[in-house]
């Protein structure tokens, strides 16, 4: 299942927005077939890092590598063709389209005919167990279904890497549990390298093999769930948060989406 040292890597990446250092010297690797976590307080730079890895944000310094191939300055749509897919914190579905067509757009974007793209979309929806949503207009979906459709859109034609920006935001404990199962299957069955950004830290600790902690644009800790659970630096980053609140044993808090 785990394969051969293949990775999507950000190396010494820095990004600056008019004076604000959003990322400073960040190095992060997402191995193929595994689940990697990225946590950090609001404004830490997590989304910025995903934008860098998916070609939406040019880097000030540093480099991006996809399985050894340097990718600096490559356009977002080309990166998707190379198999780096993502979801968005704010969903960004094509709101006027039925769910199946939301997925179809990716197939078409990747070069399939409309007929093949529709077939692939139906296959992916079935794989995710949400075939019943196929003909619903995306704008009318409840929040949690929206998240699942967004994941479906991203895994069309099976990418090599999938970067999830707060996929569990607003989900109940039960729903995030289902989501966890899906994420595991994506990494395990499809051999996709998953990067999971979540405020629901319970979910991250449960799913990820390796977790990066970002604070004010810097990686302040990297480690296994056990190491992260015990880290003083991590506790400091979530200033004012009691350790027990931050890392609930199992209870997943319904994080508020930004």
Partner 1 sequence: MSTRPSVIRQTIVTPIILIVALLIMAALTYQFGSRAFNRTAVEMFINIMVVVGLYVFVGNSGLLSFGHISFMCLGAYMTAWLAIPPVMKSITLKGLPAWLLHTQLPMWVATPISGLFAAIFALIIGRVIMRLSGIAASIATFGLLGVVNNVYSNWDSVTGGQGSIVGIPPTMNVWIGWLGATAAIVIAYLYSISRSGLALRATRDEAVAASASGINIVRERLIAFVVSAFIIGLAGALYAHFLSIVNPGAFYLRTTFVTLSMLVVGGMYSLSGAVSGVVVMSVLIELFRNLEKGISLGGHTIALPNGAQEIAIGAITIVMLMYLPTGLSRNREFSWRGWPLQRPLARPVQTALKELN
Instruction: Enumerate binding residues for Mg ion (CB under 5 A).
Output: 47, 89
Indicate which single residue of 9, 22, 53, 169 sits in contact with ligand ATP (rule: CB under 6 A).
22
DSSP class of residue 244 equals H
DSSP class of residue 131 equals G
Residues touching partner 1: how many (CB under 8 A)? 47
Query: How many residues comprise the chain?
Result: 258
Q: How far is it, in rounded angstroms, from Cα 157 to Cα 77? A: 14
Indicate which single residue of 7, 104, 175, 221 sits in contact with partner 1 (rule: CB under 8 A).
104
Q: How far is it, in rounded angstroms, from Cα 155 to Cα 120? A: 10
With respect to partner 1, which residue has the nearer C-beta, 119 or 254? 119
Indicate which single residue of 24, 36, 48, 54 sits in contact with ligand ATP (rule: CB under 6 A).
48
212 bridge partner residues: 38, 222
With respect to partner 1, which residue has the nearer C-beta, 13 or 234? 13
Q: Which stretch in 88-96, 168-176, 209-217, 229-237 sits in contact with partner 1 by CB under 8 A?
A: 88-96
Long-range residue pairs from 132-137, CB within 8 A, at least 24 positions apart, any chain = 133/99, 134/98, 134/99, 134/100, 135/98, 135/99, 135/100, 136/98, 136/99, 137/95, 137/96, 137/97, 137/98, 137/99
Q: Which stretch in 17-25, 135-143, 182-190, 245-253 sits in contact with ligand ATP by CB under 6 A?
A: 17-25
Indicate which single residue of 115, 185, 236, 243 sits in contact with partner 1 (rule: CB under 8 A).
115
Indicate which single residue of 11, 43, 88, 229 sits in contact with partner 1 (rule: CB under 8 A).
88
140: Cβ contacts below 8 Å, ≥ 6 apart? none
**Structure tokens, 174:** 């039960």
Q: How far is the CB of 199 from ligand ATP (least distance, A)?
A: 7
Interaction between residue 45 and ligand ATP (CB under 6 A): yes
In the complex, the residues that contact ligand ATP under the rule CB under 6 A are 17, 20, 22, 40, 42-48, 89, 258
């Amino acid at each position: 299942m785990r394969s051969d040292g293949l990775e999507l890597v950000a190396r010494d990446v820095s990004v600056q927005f008019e004076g604000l250092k959003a990322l400073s010297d960040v190095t992060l690797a997402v191995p193929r077939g595994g689940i990697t976590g990225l946590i950090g307080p609001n404004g830490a730079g997590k989304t910025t890092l995903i934008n860098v890895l998916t070609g939406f944000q040019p880097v000030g310094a540093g480099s991006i590598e996809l399985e050894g191939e340097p990718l600096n300055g490559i356009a977002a749509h080309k990166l998707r063709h190379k198999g780096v897919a993502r979801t968005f914190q704010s969903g960004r579905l094509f709101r006027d389209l039925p769910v199946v067509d939301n997925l179809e757009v990716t197939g078409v974007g990747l070069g399939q005919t409309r007929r093949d793209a529709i077939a692939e979309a139906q296959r992916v929806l079935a794989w995710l167990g949400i075939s019943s949503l196929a003909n619903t207009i995306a704008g009318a979906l409840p929040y949690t279904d929206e998240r699942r459709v967004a994941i479906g859109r991203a895994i069309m034609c099976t990418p090599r890497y999938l970067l999830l920006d707060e996929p569990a935001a607003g989900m109940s404990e039960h729903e995030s549990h289902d989501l966890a199962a899906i994420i595991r299957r994506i990494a395990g069955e499809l051999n996709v390298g998953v990067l999971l950004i979540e405020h629901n830290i319970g979910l991250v600790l449960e799913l990820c093999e390796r977790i990066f902690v970002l604070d004010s644009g810097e990686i302040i800790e990297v480690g296994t769930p056990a190491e992260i659970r015990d880290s003083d630096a991590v506790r400091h980053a979530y200033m004012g948060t009691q350790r027990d609140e931050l890392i609930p044993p199992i209870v997943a808090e319904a994080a508020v989406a930004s």
